[in-house]
Amino acid sequence: MLATSGMIGGMANIGEVGGTVQDVLVRQTNELAVLVSGAQQLSTEMLGTFGKAVNGSDNERAVQIQERLAFIGRRLGETVVAVATVREEGTELLAEWGLGTGTGTAPKEEALRNTPGTSDVDTDATPAAAKKYNQKNPERISAVRLREMYTAKGIDLSALGCIMLDIEPIVVSDVIRPEDLYHANNPVKNPYADGVRSETVPHITLLQGLMQPGPEVREDIDKVLEGWKADTVTIQEVTYFAGADPTEPFDCIVARLENTDEILEGNNRLQLLPHITMYPGEFRAHVSLAYVNRNPAKRDEYIRILNERYAGKQIRVTGLNYGA
């Protein structure tokens, strides 16, 4: 109490006390989150290395070790989210009392950036590109929003072709809690909004909107893509897309990829085929990681953790997917 009284006595007003408390709260929890996230990444790498070493083994001890490593990874992920929750609740409480800024997030803090094992990502967790896009496009125009117009012309958007690149799985289920995953209220209308996607159907969409399903025009696809291939892709950052359907309150966490010459060329070649542009504007290659409930605090924390794990990582392409 004496130390606290001394600190208050040296402050100009109670607001400064709140600011100091908030600064300590945010700085310390962020540093703790980084350390735990680093431990989680290490456990994930250990699990992968151990899995390769005992691949195909039915040894009971090996199975137990794998299960234990997976459990440790999940618990560390839960701890990171719990730390973030403490930070959010603490800053909200300060705001209710009229103390601190009440933002609940830290700007770019040098102490966090200089912590060993951290990557150079924005600690705000909502990438600048996503912020800029959402500010400019509060109601993103897309073919889906004009579904009735296309239906009147006899065009079924759900039957349009989608050409993809299959890739190796990107693990996120050890980070994102099951209760935070989103599953569509109307799976017929929103068939892709179904929890984790990058582990079950990992892919990159090269072009969505072909006037015919891919298998029906396979020869044409092969002709325009003759001599073209992409062996790997690189994750630039983890960000998110807000769902366009107001009846489905989800955000889709995605890995935005570097738009390499190979990827852009593949997209441009496919545009030679008859198609509808589903989302006008610059083509941005990405991988859908998971659909989550619309909760900005949790979403941004997941994005931050996944950025630390995957930003800058190369992902192997396994083949061309003509769609169903």
pTM of the model: 0.56
Statement to judge: residues 238 and 299 lie in one domain: yes
Kindly report the CATH number assigned to the domain that includes residue 257.
Answer: 3.90.1140.10
pLDDT in tens, 221-269: 999 999 999 999 999 999 998 876 778 889 999 999 999 999 999 999 9
Q: Of 89, 113, 137, which closes a domain?
A: 113
12 pLDDT higher than 70: no
Statement to judge: residues 63 and 173 lie in one domain: no
Q: What is the pLDDT at residue 21?
A: 66
Supply the range of the domain harboring residue 42. Answer: 2-113
Q: What is the mean pLDDT of residues 205-218?
A: 93
Statement to judge: residues 14 and 160 lie in one domain: no
Angle, vertex CA 219, rays to CA 214 and CA 220, nearest 5: 75
Residue 122 counted as domain residue: no
More confident residue, 17 or 242: 242
Residue 120 counted as domain residue: no
Statement to judge: residues 98 and 157 lie in one domain: no
Statement to judge: residues 179 and 52 lie in one domain: no
97 pLDDT higher than 70: no
DSSP for 118-157?
Answer: --S--TT-S-HHHHHHHHH-TT---GGGGHHHHHHTT--G
Statement to judge: residues 79 and 9 lie in one domain: yes
Residue 118 counted as domain residue: no
More confident residue, 98 or 49: 49
Statement to judge: residues 253 and 204 lie in one domain: yes
Residue 121 counted as domain residue: no
Statement to judge: residues 31 and 139 lie in one domain: no
Q: What is the mean pLDDT of residues 19-48?
A: 67
Statement to judge: residues 173 and 313 lie in one domain: yes
> 100: pLDDT confidence band, cut at 50, 70 and 90?
low
- Number of structural domains, the chain? 2
Q: Of 113, 140, 174, which closes a domain?
A: 113
Q: What is the pLDDT at residue 95?
A: 65
Residue 269 counted as domain residue: yes
